[in-house]
Amino acid sequence: MNTLTVLGSGTSTGVPILGCNCHICQSTNPANKRLRTSVFLTTARGKKIVVDTSPDLRSQLLRADVRHVDAALITHDHADHTHGIDDLRPFCFHQNQSLPVHCSAETAQSLRRKFDYIFGTNLRPVIGGGIPRLHLQEFHSGAALITDEKFTMFSLPHGYVTSTGFMHGKLAYLTDCHSIPTAVAEQLRQADLEWLIIDCVKPEPHDTHMGYEQTRTALEQIKPRRAGLIHMGHEWDHEVLAERLIKDGFHGAAPLKDGDLIRYS
């Protein structure tokens, strides 16, 4: 059995937002406390894969008691999904090896520019505390291997860039996109998914993410057995969103919480 641990379920600001006095940011409900979106896969064969390195990654991995990482998968180059990449450094030290960072060619180009001290071509000798020992491995849409695990990668529209969604086993993960291409939705529908993890940033439409109606349409098209909504902003109260999904007939769908554990084949 494969598992997915939700390290963070929030949008780029996290929830609560610094300095915000809205009722959700001031909520005492733990389900409304959301770190930036990232997840952790443990495959049936014991491979450990972190998906996105959010700025909250250190605290997320400590909370989830993650002690080993075999690889990272980066969905796209935005700061809330990449700027915790240095927190992979202890795993490089402990495991005494360079870790692969899997991403699209578009994302790899950006990571080389943003983190030239890790991925640059003119690296200086390491002094002081050292740098993460990481190396980029690019994939394209379609079949890909990560730690010898079979993934299917999807290119998703996300404002000025594309984001990578993926399917692993009977689970699909589609975050940071403002729509699901028709061909992708049909492929996922035919896959008879046990779980679909999908973007739903706010109740209203959004220029780069899926609002509720876009997420609802995707659920109707893909028809997963169960669905978890992720990358949610402070416009969403957890209980209100859960009730809305049930009211709209999506009895197998619910907003995810930080720390949730999902099992899939």
* pLDDT value for 129: 72
Across residues 71-85, what is the average pLDDT? 98
pTM (predicted TM-score): 0.96
Going from N- to C-terminal start, the domains of the chain cover 2-121+131-260
Across residues 137-156, what is the average pLDDT? 96
**Using 50, 70 and 90 to split pLDDT, how confident is the model at 96?**
confident
Give CA separation, 166 vs 78, 172, 237, in Å. 18, 6, 27
Residue 178 has pLDDT above 90, yes or no: yes
Q: Which fold has domain 2-121+131-260?
A: Metallo-beta-lactamase; Chain A (3.60.15)
Mean pLDDT of the chain: 96
Asked whether the beta carbons of 98 and 133 are under 8 A apart, the reply is: yes
* pLDDT value for 15: 98
**Using 50, 70 and 90 to split pLDDT, how confident is the model at 8?**
very high
Residue 165 has pLDDT above 90, yes or no: yes
> How confident is the model over 109-140, as pLDDT tens digits?
999 999 999 998 877 777 777 889 999 999 99
> How confident is the model over 204-238, as pLDDT tens digits?
999 999 999 999 999 999 999 999 999 999 999 99
